[in-house]
Structure 1
Amino acid sequence: MIILLKKFMSVTIIIYSVIPSTTFAQGTMSKAANWLINQAIVDGCEGRGGKFDSSGIFTADLDGDGRKDLIISHIALSCNGMPINSNMCGASICSSDVYLRRGVKGRVKLYH
C-alpha cells in the first residue's frame, strides 16, 4: 500500500507499508480516534455534516511500536449539501492526516 500524504504545500511524504492495514468499521475505534474522525468531517465539510466511506479511514502500525496509528484520507469524505467533496481536496489531490499513537495503556495520546 502506498499512501501519499501532503500536509504542507512544500512537503510531500510517501509511506510504503507492507503491513496490512485495518479499514474503519463503525464502533471499532477508540474515543480519541472517533473524535479525530468527527473533527475531520467538521473541518472538511465546513460544519455541514458528512460521512467517510470505509476506504478513507485506516489503522496500521506505521512506526513499529506495536500500536495502531490512524490515517484519515479526505478523498473518501462525502459532505452534505454542495460541494459534496471535502474542502481538504484540491484540483488533483486530497489531503490525508496521519496520527501516531503514543502513551501508556489507559493514557493514550494521538499525535498529528
Structure 2
Amino acid sequence: MLRPFLFTGVLVEGLRTGEADRDGDGRIGMPELADFVMDRVADLTLHQTPQLWLFGAHGGDVAIARSRPQVSISTLSSELRFVSNCRSSAPCRGQGVGGCSPG
C-alpha cells in the first residue's frame, strides 16, 4: 500500500477527521486548514515548513470542506454537564444518575 507524503497525509487527516475545524463551526476554511497543517507538520518534522500563499486573493475565507460542528460542554444543559463531570472525575457515591449526586 502506498503511504502519502507527510504534507498530504496531514492535510487529508485534518479534512477527514474534522480536526482542521479549529473554531468548531462546522466548516473548514482555508486559513483553518493551513493552520492545522502547519502546526501538525511542525509537530512531526523539522524538515518541512508549510506556508499559505494567496496570489491575487481579495480577502475573505474560502470554505474547503464541511465538518460536524463540535459541541462544547459549556453548551450542554446543567444536568448533562453534571453527568459528564461525574463520569470523568473520581468515583462518585450517591443517589443521582450513574451513582452520582449533584452538589
Calculate the TM-score normalised by the size of structure 2.
0.26
Structure number with greater Rg is 2
Which structure carries more strand by proportion? 1
Which structure carries more helix by proportion? 2
